[in-house]
A and B are shown apart, each in its own frame.
Chain A
Amino acid sequence: MRNKRIIVFIIILLIGATTGIVPSHYNAQANAQYYALASREGEHMLLARIVAGEAEGEPYAGQVGVAAVIINRMKNPKFPSSIPDVIYQPGAFESVSNGLIWSRYPSRTHFEAARQALNGWDPTYGCTFFWNPYKPVSRWIWSRTIVTQIGNHVFAK
């Protein structure tokens, strides 16, 4: 009786496992076409998180600006060359150091701002720095050329 139960259990397990495997195998083939979008979705998520961490409560253009700064850094020889490398450069962003990037879940607006920056909208015209002028920051940062202020952030090259 007990043996029977074990056999039935094993059969159920096998069926479960194979049905799991077969469709996922087909999915893998179908998904090959979606690599372009998948890597973009990862970047999108990370960008939305940094927008939530750094620009919560800022006007929409300011949120697009923060996401654009990350993208501009990625293209610039003065900074690391991928979106994750730029975001996780030690000490580069306050919200990464204090964990806000993980504790705040991005809202619809944050995702929209990140998406529009990925599509090439850049209200900062190529800026690679932003900071809150009402908070203390390293002195050298003020030597940058300021392009614009949006909400509580100054954007500079």
Chain B
Amino acid sequence: MMKKSYIWLISFIVLGGLIFGYWSISSRAFSAENALEASYQRGFYNLLDHVNNLNLLISKTQVTSSDEQRIMLLTTIWHQAEGARNSLASLPLGDRDMTNMQKFFAQLGDFSYRLAEKLVKKQSVSDGDWETMNEFRKHVQSLNQELRRLQDNVSAGKIRWQDKPDSLFSSRQVKGVGDSLESIDEKLKKEAPTITYDGPFSDHVESPTVKGVTGEPISESEAVKIARQVVAKITDWNLNGDVVGKTKGSITAYTIEFRRANGGAPDIIMDVSETGGHVIWFLNTREIGSPKVAIKQAVDNAKAFLESMGYKDFEATGSLRENNTITVSFVPKVRDVLLYPDFIKVEVALDTGEIVGFNALAYLTFHTERNLPEPKITEDEVRASLNKNLSIDRIRLALIPDEALNEKLCYEVDVKLNSDRYFIYINAETGIEERILKVVETDKGTMTM
């Protein structure tokens, strides 16, 4: 009798414990789930709001006759489009293709910003630009309608972003909203305009035409031969090189790996272009010991290596020291003009001074025989035009790319204000101030931002 009640008591406690455990876990999961659901709902309502505002704002740009008003509207469109972009990215749609809608908002915002910029600079806005804006308006309008339809279901509580039944272990979103948004994305993919304009999100920026890769196609064994000659310059180790694959990126390349005789992970990885056999990049993955080589020596080694690769008349423009290596950026100097788009990076190990990294992708993409314009403005005119508080250390000519990959011939003016150093870029043809970079000197090297 005594024993039996003892068993009852224990099983009662165990059962109670289990129930309490389940209750506390599920209630915690439940509140976490609600918090997540709330943040998704917030994202969705914000998206609706931004698209509605975009619809309104674009139509107003078509009605106004004042440029000042138009500038205000266009910059607000930029702001709202960025908001739409962020809201869309906050929704749990990671396993679906939402890239076209993302791109649509990004381009609409960026395009509006560029139009506002043109108006501010009193440049002419072409009919084509306004026609593009009208295209955007049509898509925003239909997007707005489709999102409204979704909203009715969402606010009626028919749609949640996460599955309800097996809520404890699953966060798969309900098919309805995801499917609808995906079909909107699909539609944009087919119908949204391909636009080329002067901004970083223009369609031409994503895949620039490769200009620097010249020559005849080479075979696998020729590629290995070229790679082997480079490897001989950068290490004493005896390595075997093999082509492991062909990469079909912006430049088609043979990927070559070098290993020690006993196999294992590759020590050096290198891409050599199929056309012309240019070394695009390589990395030596060896572990690097504590620094023993002086920085100046390392930079000299990098320069000497660059020259041995046939890249002459380059100037070191910046360096970054990290861990036990230093990465030096070089740009070509042609007729006293620095060509910033065509940079090459060389990484030097500070334990032995060996070259452990090389990257000429930018050079091979952008380098070409250019017809550089003659500067229409003199150095003295640049000096006279600058802020009087600045002390000027140096002026030289440089070709710089803007965000839309347009190249501009500028005077690079190295100035100081108090103890801070800046680079100011003045367009050598128009005298317009194109860009300001702040130079930050740290113990790790010189950075510009």
Which A residues lie at the B interface, using CB under 8 A?
Answer: 33-37, 59-61, 64, 75-81, 85, 89-93, 97, 108, 112, 115-116, 119-127, 138, 140-141, 146-149
Contact = CB atoms under 8 A, between A and B. Distances in A.
Contact of B91 (A75, A90, A146, A149): A90
A147 B359 contact: no
B319 to A, nearest CB: 11
B93 interface: yes
Contact of A77 (B102, B251, B320): B102
B271 interface: yes
A108 B40 CA distance: 36
B212 interface: no
Interface stretch (B20-28, B242-250, B372-380): B242-250
Nearest to B420: A33
A140 B429 CA distance: 48
Contacts, number: 119
A92 B94 contact: yes
Contacts of A122: 361
Contacts of A78: 99-100, 102-103, 106
Contacts of B322: 115
B269 A60 contact: yes
Nearest to A91: B94
| Secondary structure dominating the interface of B | mixed
Contact of A79 (B91, B102, B110, B283): B102
Given A60-B265, A90-B91, A92-B94, A119 B251 contact: no
Contacts of A81: 85, 106
Nearest to B40: A90
A61 B269 contact: yes
B283 A64 contact: yes
Nearest to B343: A120
A119 B327 contact: yes
B323 A89 contact: no
Contact of A123 (B103, B201, B269, B362): B269
Given A78-B99, A125-B251, A90 B90 contact: yes
A2 B103 CA distance: 70
A126 B89 CA distance: 21
Contact of A126 (B86, B94, B207, B323): B207
11 contacts: A36-B442, A78-B100, A81-B106, A89-B94, A90-B90, A93-B94, A121-B357, A125-B247, A125-B250, A127-B249, A140-B96
Interface in B187-201: 200-201
Given A37-B447, A121-B283, 15 more contacts: A33-B442, A60-B269, A77-B107, A78-B99, A79-B102, A81-B106, A89-B90, A90-B90, A108-B287, A119-B347, A122-B361, A123-B247, A126-B206, A147-B249, A148-B248
